[in-house]
Every structure is written in C-alpha cells, then in structure tokens.
Amino acid sequence: MKEGRPAASASRSSRSILLLSTAGFFGIFSTTVSKSPVLPLFVKSLSASETVVGLIAAISPLAGVFFSFPVGILADRWGKRRLLLVSAGVLLAAPLLYLLVRNPFWLVPIRFFHGIATAILTPVASAFVLGAYPESKGEKLGLFSSATLVGRTLAPLLGGALISAFLFLGGSLPYRAVYLGAFLLSVPVLFLVLALPRDTTGDDGRAGRGPPPVTVAGEFLPGLRDFLRNRRVLGTSIVEMGTYFAYGTLETYLPLYLASLGVPAYEIGLVFSLQVLSIALTKPLFGRLADRVDRRRQVLGGIALLGVAIAVVPWLARRRRHSRDDHRRPGYRKTSAVESSPQSLPAFAAAASAAKKTTSPISIVAPSTSPVHPPIFFHEIRQNTATAPSAASPGIG
C-alpha cells in the first residue's frame, strides 16, 4: 500500500498541471479572441468615434489594475480553486453579453466585467502552481505559460478568420460570430476547473471555514510605500508602463487603420498572431541574455526597437495602398519582382514584440491623434471596390 501512494500522488500531480494548463489555454484563447483584432472593428461597426474605441479598449485592463491586489489576498483566504471557478463563470457569461450590444457604450461595463476573468485567471493559476508544485514550480509554470501563449497566438488568427468567413452577413454580425466562438471556447474552462483536485490547490485551509475580514488598505498601503521608495523597481515599472502604452495603442488602432486600407480581417489577425509568436520565440533568448549583459542596455535596445517598429507601420501600410491603386490603373504593368503586399505588414510584428519581456500586455490606450474618418467596414469596402474600382479607399496619411 505504501508503495502505491507515491505513484498515485505523482499521477494526481501530473493530472492537475494538465487540467490547469488546458484551462489556461482555453481561457486565454477566449479572452484574446474577444479583443484582438475584433474589438476595435466591432466598436467601429457601431458607429463609434476613435475616442470611444480607445475608451472601451482601456476598460478591460483597468479592471485588472483594480482587482490584481485584492485577488491575491482573496486567493490566500478563500482558496485558489474557488477564485478559479469565479473566473470560469465570468469567462462563460461575458461573451454572451456582447451579442446583446446595440450601443457602443454598453461595452464599457461588459469589458470591465470581462476583464475580471483575466485579472483572476493568470495570477491565481500561477499561485496554484507555486503551492501545488514547490519542488518543480519553474517547470510547471513554464508549461502553464506555454499553454497560454499558444492560446494567445491562435486567437487573432481565429478571430480574423471568423470575421472573413461571415462577412456576407454584413453590419456587425461577423463580429458577433466571433463572440459566439469565444463563448464556446470558454465552456471547457469551467469543467476543467471543476475537475481540479481539492487537495492540491495550495490553499491554506481557510476555504472550509469561510472568508475572514479582508483588510486591503492595511496590507496594500505599506507595500505601495515600499514600491515608491525603491527607485530601481519604480523606474522599471515606468518603462514597462510606457511599453504597454505604445503596444496598447497599436493593438487598438492598427486594425482600424488596416481595415480602412482594405486589408482582409484574416490578414489583420495574422499580424497580431505573429506578434505573440515572436514573443514566444524570443523570450527565452532575451532571458538568458539578461543574465550575461547589462540589463539596462537590453531595456534601452528594446525600447528603441519598439519605437522604430511602430514608426514604420504607416510607411508599410501606405506602400500597400499605393500598390493596390497602381494595380487599378488602366495599362498597369508589373515592373518589379518585389511588390508591396499585405505580407510586408507583419514584418513589424516580430520587431515590436521582441521589445516586450512579458506575455500579457495591458492595453492602456492613448487617445487617437489620427484624423477622424467615417466608420469603415469590410462589407462597405467590398461594395465600394465593386462599384468604384478606380477610387482609392480613405485612409490615414
């Protein structure tokens, strides 16, 4: 009997990380497909301005900012498995709310509600791993992180493909099809979390006795003071905040810019999938490099690379538009073997993502500084192309 206990414990341990990683895959897949690249396109299809698009995009990560610290306290006091169930419930309910939206401002509370799921899922799942696998936490955290990266990589591809596949429906219906897909992706999360064994959650034993009073101010304020006094940590955080700010602006407004140039939705999804893929491929390399060289130089190089990558986006997009207009001219003849094409647009993705050291960007979005254009929808672009083949599509720049 004693010889069988270690084997049973090892089997239960392997099953737990498999369940948790699979839940992370579907959970991040569902939340990402609800955002990239569909969210700005969906908001624009509801005749919202660029300012409203930025506001709605910023709401979900704002929920993460508000809930990240209380979630850590509640996970220690209520139990991690219970909070993961709350996250699974939010993931299941939120996508259905998008189907009811008729006014873009309805998305403000919906996005905040949806953001609670992400604010709980990733940190609580990581704490679950640390508590359940103290001797192999690095390996198990790597497995969970890899599973979520796969979900983040596939999500923009699926979102763009669904928009393109249901384009014939017109209006905002292709975007609603994406949120129906997000709902279906979230269903397995609930059952996977329910299947997690109770004795390997890493709880401190309080879950069965009910929640004690939570003194958030008493625990948060001392930590905040220590954070503000540590110049190194504060400076690093400000740099990372600026990186997220730039990436969030790109993630919010680039889909609208590319759509205004007639880029198909599946190609827009490909751009963002390549960004996540480049993170997965370069993160181990830059992690090892940080142990050998001055980290400040690496951070400065990443910031410079991100700035250059974002700066070339309008140039690459204009090349695509000019190439398309040239093809429409009577008597056009191809004179070069290398042409501007939508495949040139993803070139910036790898460079932009290589500058990022994290796998879950917070999209705190700046107000748009671009000229305001009327809403551009994929079905309108297609109709305009059919009726006026010589007219250039409106765009920025």
Query: Can you spell out the DSSP letters for 214-274?
Result: P-HHHHHHHHHHHHHH-HHHHHHHHHHHHHHHHHHHHHHHHHHHHHHTT--HHHHHHHHHH
Report if residue 229 sits inside a domain: no
Report if residue 340 sits inside a domain: yes
Binning pLDDT at 50, 70 and 90, where does residue 5 land?
Answer: low
Binning pLDDT at 50, 70 and 90, where does residue 397 land?
Answer: very low
Q: Of residues 179 and 296, which shows the higher confidence score?
A: 179
pLDDT over 80 (residue 27): yes
Domain CATH number, residue 323: 1.20.1250.20
Report if residue 334 sits inside a domain: yes
Backbone dihedral angles phi then psi of residue 370, each to the nearest 5 degrees: -85, 155
Report if residue 224 sits inside a domain: no
> How many Å apart are CA 151 and CA 28, to the nearest integer?
6
- Is the separation of the CB atoms in 316 and 347 below 8 Å? yes
pLDDT exceeding 70 applies to what percent of the chain? 71
Q: Of residues 146 and 26, which shows the higher confidence score?
A: 26
Report if residue 393 sits inside a domain: no
Report if residue 241 sits inside a domain: yes
- Domain range for 352: 11-205+237-367+377-387
Report if residue 230 sits inside a domain: no
pLDDT at position 302 is 87
Among 84-93, 242-251, 364-373, where is mean pLDDT lowest?
364-373
Report if residue 214 sits inside a domain: no
- Is the separation of the CB atoms in 256 and 376 below 8 Å? yes
User: Within a 13 Å sphere around the CA of 84, how many CA atoms are in the beta-carbon half?
Assistant: 32
> What is the domain count for the chain?
1
Backbone dihedral angles phi then psi of residue 35, each to the nearest 5 degrees: -120, -45
Q: Of residues 324 and 92, which shows the higher confidence score?
A: 92
pLDDT over 70 (residue 10): no
pLDDT at position 395 is 34
